[in-house]
Amino acid sequence: MIPPMIEIDGLHFSYRGLGPIFKAFSLTIKNGAAWSIIGPSGCGKTTLLYLIAGLNRPERGTIRVADVPMERPRPRIGLVLQDHGLLPWATVEENTALGFKIRKFYGPDGTHSPQEPPKGAVAEKALMNHWLSWLGIDHLKGKYPGQLSRGQRQRAAIARTLVLEPDLLLMDEPFSALDAPIREELQRVMNRFHRETKLTSVTVTHDIEEAVVLGEKILVLSDTVNTAPTIIDNPHAGDPELRKSEKFIHQCDHLRSLLENRHKKEDA
């Protein structure tokens, strides 16, 4: 039996001097699933993502990824942030190769990089060419970030992550700074990516439509303490024609109503 990709059990977490964000919070994410996390500002969306990534530590409770307790950042997790974080003095190709260089520096220690032996230069080049081409930016290999559009920079950041062959992809509002047409194009790219790879993914977003487009399951967080998770089934995520359908409008309205009603109850 394949274990879940993510198991959160009895999570407690708060920032110093503030009330708890999560209390006795438990959640299971199956292998190969695509999830969205949505909720008001300050509700703990990014905090939860960083807890899963091992960048934050729970006060109590456990988080397991691929059946291993998370005690520090894990080298097989891919993390894509809103700020693409490309090195401005490096070309697209050099930025894409950055992870390989870091892994060679540490060696296969199982802590900073996977225990498998490093890939050879030919295999690394093939992986970079594959993902740069798949993301439609292979013709920009020699360009610097300052010469790219925002959408192209974010594609380069995604390529830098995917060449390392993660088993879990975490994305923190990766398209929020982009104009609507570019944002929707990259959402379609990630839908296609999930259909082809079945890689487990979790995307934090503040955008209702994006949550519906990307997440087969949608986790709705509260800006008060989060205890029992609210999970919305969203089986039509990834359908190329979803935005044109009545079920898309219905699901967006349902999610919007849920968020608005929860906000009213918390203000009461």
Domain range annotation of the chain? 1-76+170-268, 83-166
Name the pairing type of β-strands 230-233 and 217-220. antiparallel
Q: Any idea which fold 83-166 has?
A: Rossmann fold (3.40.50)
List of residues 6+ apart from 144 with CB closer than 8 A: 88, 89, 90, 91, 92
Taking alpha carbons only, the member of 84, 106, 108 closest to residue 96 is: 84
pLDDT at 268: 43
Answer for the pair 18, 41: CB distance below 8 angstroms, yes or no.
no
Tell me the pLDDT tens digit for each residue of 152-208: 999 999 999 999 999 999 999 999 888 888 899 999 999 999 999 999 999 999 999
What is the pLDDT confidence band of residue 133, given thresholds at 50, 70 and 90?
A: very high
Answer for the pair 211, 42: CB distance below 8 angstroms, yes or no.
no
Q: Which CATH class is domain 1-76+170-268?
A: alpha beta
Distances (CA, A) of 89 to 65, 93, 100, 158, 238: 34, 12, 18, 18, 36
Q: Tell me: pLDDT of 93 over 60.
A: yes
Hey, do 1-76+170-268 and 83-166 end up sharing a CATH topology, with the first three levels equal?
yes
pLDDT at 172: 94
Q: Tell me: pLDDT of 263 over 60.
A: no
Tell me the pLDDT tens digit for each residue of 189-201: 999 999 999 999 9
| Two tokens, residue 182 | 């570019």
Torsion angle defined by CA atoms of residues 210, 212, 217 and 222, in that order, rounded to the nearest 10 degrees: 70
DSSP state of 257: H
